[in-house]
Structure formats: C-alpha cells, structure tokens
Amino acid sequence: MKNNLIIEDWGRIGFEEAWKLQTRHQQALIERKRNAQSQNIKREAGNHFLIFCEHPHVYTIGKTGSGDHLLVGDDYLRKHNIAYHHINRGGDITYHGPGQLVIYPILDLEFFFRDLHRYIRLLEEMIIRTMAELGLEGYRRSGFTGVWTGPSANRKICAIGVHMSRWVSMHGLAFNVKPDLIHFDHIIPCGIKDKEKSVTSIAAESGEEPDMASVKSLVRNHFVNLFEIDNYETKQNLRRIDDSDDAIDLAQ
C-alpha cells in the first residue's frame, strides 16, 4: 500500500480554530474508511495530513489532567489574554504559544500499523533526530511521554498528546523551539510535580534562536522517512477554510 501525505502550514492560528480543522480532517479520513468498508472496497493508498502551526497563548488540558495543575485563576488568564481549553487528547496540562512548533499528524494508522505505543515512539524519534541536527541530544524517559534533554535528561523539550478514533490520529506534539518559557511557571507541566524536572527549549539549550522554517523542514524530512511516506505535497501559508467548505474534499 502507498501512503500519500499533504503537509499544511497553518501559520499562527487560534487553538479552537485549529482543533475544529483537525477534527474535519480526521472525520474526512474516517468517512472515507467507512465508505470503503461499506462497499467492500480494498483501499490501496492511504491519504494523510501533517500540520504545522503556532498558537496564541493557550493552556490545554487533556482527558486525564487535573484542573489543579493550572496555578492561576480566570482573572490572570483574562488580564494576559490566555485561553484555556479542556480537550480530547491524552495527557495533562500544557502550554502553547508563539515560538513553539505545534505538529498535528492526522494519519490513518491502518496503513502503517495498529499500535499506539509504536506511534508515540516514532513521534519521539522524529524529534530526537531533529534535535541531533540542531546540535542537541534528545532522550526518552522511562514512564514518561515526550522528549527530554540536559545532562540528566531532566528538561522536557517536547510534549506529546494524541487522540485516536477508528485508528485515525489527531492532536500531536508541542516542540519548544523558542517560546517564552515563563508561561510554564503558571502550570504543573504535564502534571509532573518533581521539582528536579523542568521545561526547556532549543533556544534555551543552544543559546541561539533557530529559524522556524528550518526546524519545520527537518521535522518534515524525519517524519517522511520514519513513516515511509511514498509521496508528499507541501502547502505553505494555507488559507483556513470556513464553515461553508466541504470537509470531505480535504481527504481527496
């Protein structure tokens, strides 16, 4: 079976809008799958999406998260124009904001493998390989999801949280390229209370601010190689769709 990938760059986009568009993409792939199954059609090619974007300031908390891990109240959020959403991914609370590369793979995993843990490990590997090209070492930590760095691998640089429906993925990775890390001080990131563990970024570790476009290119290359993508097409600065657009067309 062949796998075709559409890579979309949404630029700076509000979290709610991105969540809505992800859901449309995911539902379009699920609908295609259901149609093939109902007509007993064997699918020979998988069509998938890889989304790049950045979000304005927002805290999101997953299905297994605790509201107590947000350390500020509504007044603070309003004053600093920070959104807050309970969402349908796994994991606890995290921050998204400018300078952080958010990566949303929307894949029909039945064209690859039906193994959630393997999927997460490949996403981690993608970031580890990207970091190596930026001159940094990335690590996994037993019992934790995501990618870590530092001499004791105690600084988290990439958080991962996904949602799966009929083996079609959404949500994904928050890779700290050059965000303002002060926003992590107002949460217990990923629900990890260990004071010896912290959050970091490429900029904080290297002392330089990498070009976001270059980081996207590295991530894309490693994603395509790790998932053995046959064909891919990149759509830069994609114009967002509105409510009148047909979501099914996005999966053609």
Residue pLDDT, tens place only, 51-78 = 999 999 999 999 989 999 999 999 999 9
CA atoms within 13 A on the CB side of 75: 0
Return the structure tokens found at 14: 């509000």
Residue 87: CB partners within 8 Å, gap ≥ 6? Answer: 19, 60, 61, 62, 63, 171
Q: State percent of the chain over pLDDT 90.
A: 88
- Of the residues 51, 70, 103, 190, which is catalytic? 190
CATH of residue 235's domain is 3.30.930.10
Centroid of chain to Cα 59: 14
Lowest mean pLDDT among 59-63, 111-115, 214-218, 240-244: 240-244
Band of the pLDDT at 1, cuts 50, 70, 90? confident
Number of structural domains found in the chain: 1
pLDDT recorded at residue 249: 32
Query: What are the phi and psi torsion angles at 111 (to 5°)?
Result: -90, -5
Cβ atoms of 162 and 181 closer than 8 Å: no
197: left (phi over 0), alpha (psi -120 to 50) or beta: beta
pLDDT recorded at residue 195: 87
- Is residue 93, in this structure, part of any structural domain at all? yes
Within 10 angstroms of residue 181's Cβ, the number of other Cβ atoms is 18
Angstrom distance (rounded) from CA 129 to CA 182: 27
Centroid of chain to Cα 204: 21
- Is residue 126, in this structure, part of any structural domain at all? yes
Residue 242 has pLDDT above 50, yes or no: no
Query: What are the phi and psi torsion angles at 236 (to 5°)?
Result: -85, 150
CA angle 150, 119, 135 (to 5 degrees): 30
Band of the pLDDT at 157, cuts 50, 70, 90? very high
Angstrom distance (rounded) from CA 47 to CA 135: 33
- 177 lies in which domain range? 2-239
Centroid of chain to Cα 67: 21
- Is residue 252, in this structure, part of any structural domain at all? no
- Is residue 246, in this structure, part of any structural domain at all? no
- Is residue 226, in this structure, part of any structural domain at all? yes
Residue 17: CB partners within 8 Å, gap ≥ 6? Answer: 240
- Is residue 248, in this structure, part of any structural domain at all? no
* 53 counts as catalytic: no
Residue 36: CB partners within 8 Å, gap ≥ 6? Answer: 42, 43
CB contact burial 92-119 (16+ within 10 A = b; e otherwise) = bbbbbbebbbbbbbbbbbebbeeeeeeb
